[in-house]
Amino acid sequence: MSERLTAWQRLRTRFDWTLFALIAALGAAGLLNLWSAVRDRQPQLLRTQLVWLALGVAVFVAVALVDTRRILRWAYLLYGLGVGALAWVILAGRAAGGARRWLELGPLSVQPSEMVKVLLVLALARHIHDAPSLKERTFRHLLVPLFLVGVPALLVAAQPDLDNALILVLIFASIMLTARLSLKTWGSILLVAALAAGPIYKYGLRDYQRDRVLAFLNPEANEATAWQPRHAMNALGSGRVWGKGYLEATYLRVRGLPALWTDYPFAMVGEEWGFLGCALVVCLAAALVLWILKVSRDARDRFAAMLCIGCAAMFFWQSLINIAMVSGLLPVAGATLPLVSYGGSSLLAVMFALGLVMNVSVRRFPR
């Protein structure tokens, strides 16, 4: 009881209010945006998202209270459970839209590929913490990290969910940037990636995924596939500087853009709030990433620092891919905009990651 009381006291007295304010601001923007998108279509989605948000807050607080030494001990176990859930999805998951990505847990439908991104961060942070400090790491030192990222990435890609598989690889690469790899090792990695790009495109992508790439490169020749991203960009630009006003996203409602509240919430922000609203969302997301990196710099040990770097990478790459997709800078992808997009699994994973950051932040001082 005394240990739990100490954890509560530490969280209360050393609470990171800057981190909380950034999370709250993005979360509030997401709820406002969601209501505007669903109020005349599926208003019950706002209630569902509020339930997920309440669960996310509970996960956030619970993770922030757990001693990081316990998280260190549990890292590989949690990672193994996540990989097991991915395998179970392929065997017995719920299929929808040509993909098998969801597990039914009573009334809830969860997507393990979202949570496994955080669990990969835990496993990589544990590995780097346990590994001896070296001036330079060679390709031989990458074998275990490559295994840790390769297994879940392949399972996620098999669902198929290439977007989340790519994010797993990007999280891995971001963490490895801090692991002092030699230039020769980085050269080998880039060479292998370049050589593999062609075969992956030809044999590893489904037809609809190749169509998305072709629609991005030549929208006029692929009008059917380019329909969604073209209208998302039109909506984004129609708001101009100031936007049309809250609840006034007429273009998106007339066009009936699907996945508006999951994949394209940034288009809604652009139409209703204009360039200034988009800039505010981007600045809040960037500020959150930079604050997480600041927490990593002040962390008490290497494991805690790697946790924050991995969580910052997860938040950064998801935000970048989603915003770039809506802006026409990348092909259509299924990456959600953290704290803004509708989706329970994504929200729980993000709150889990941010709970880890809060945990590191409140424990960065001497006991």
Number of domains in the chain: 1
Cα angle 21, 25, 29; round to 5: 170
As beta bridge partners, residue 137 has 181
pLDDT of residue 216: 75
- Residue 76 near residue 82 (C-beta atoms within 8 A): no
Separation of alpha carbons 31 and 25, rounded Å: 10
- Residue 137 near residue 179 (C-beta atoms within 8 A): yes
pLDDT of residue 255: 61
> Would the CA dihedral through 277, 279, 283, 289 be positive or negative?
positive
Tokens of 209: 């995924």
pLDDT of residue 365: 65
Separation of alpha carbons 210 and 207, rounded Å: 5
- Residue 270 near residue 237 (C-beta atoms within 8 A): yes
256 contact partners, CB below 8 Å, separation of at least 6: none
Task: Please name the helix (run of DSSP H) or strand (run of DSSP E) that holds residue 265, with its range, or none.
Answer: helix 265-297
Separation of alpha carbons 340 and 32, rounded Å: 9
Question: If the chain, 367 residues long, is cut into consecutive pieces of 10 residues, what is the mean pLDDT of each piece?
Answer: 61 88 96 89 90 95 92 95 93 74 78 94 94 68 88 90 91 87 77 81 75 73 69 84 87 68 88 94 97 94 94 96 89 86 93 96 74
pLDDT of residue 120: 97
pLDDT of residue 79: 97
Where does residue 111 rank: exposed (0-12), middle (13-18), buried (19+ CB within 10 A)?
buried
C-alpha pair distances (Å), 333 with each of 23, 173, 206, 263, 321:
24, 20, 13, 8, 7
Separation of alpha carbons 29 and 264, rounded Å: 14
Q: Residue 105 in 3-state DSSP?
A: strand
Q: What is the pTM of this model?
A: 0.91
Q: Is residue 179 assigned to a domain? A: yes
Q: Is residue 131 assigned to a domain? A: yes
Q: Is residue 330 assigned to a domain? A: yes
Q: Is residue 249 assigned to a domain? A: yes
pLDDT of residue 319: 96
Tokens of 126: 């544990």
Q: Is residue 319 assigned to a domain? A: yes
Q: Is residue 367 assigned to a domain? A: no
pLDDT of residue 16: 92
pLDDT of residue 328: 84
C-alpha pair distances (Å), 288 with each of 55, 282, 285, 311:
21, 10, 5, 11
pLDDT of residue 366: 56
> Would the CA dihedral through 265, 270, 271, 272 be positive or negative?
positive
Residue 244's domain spans which residues? Answer: 2-362
pLDDT of residue 13: 80
Separation of alpha carbons 200 and 133, rounded Å: 35
pLDDT of residue 137: 67
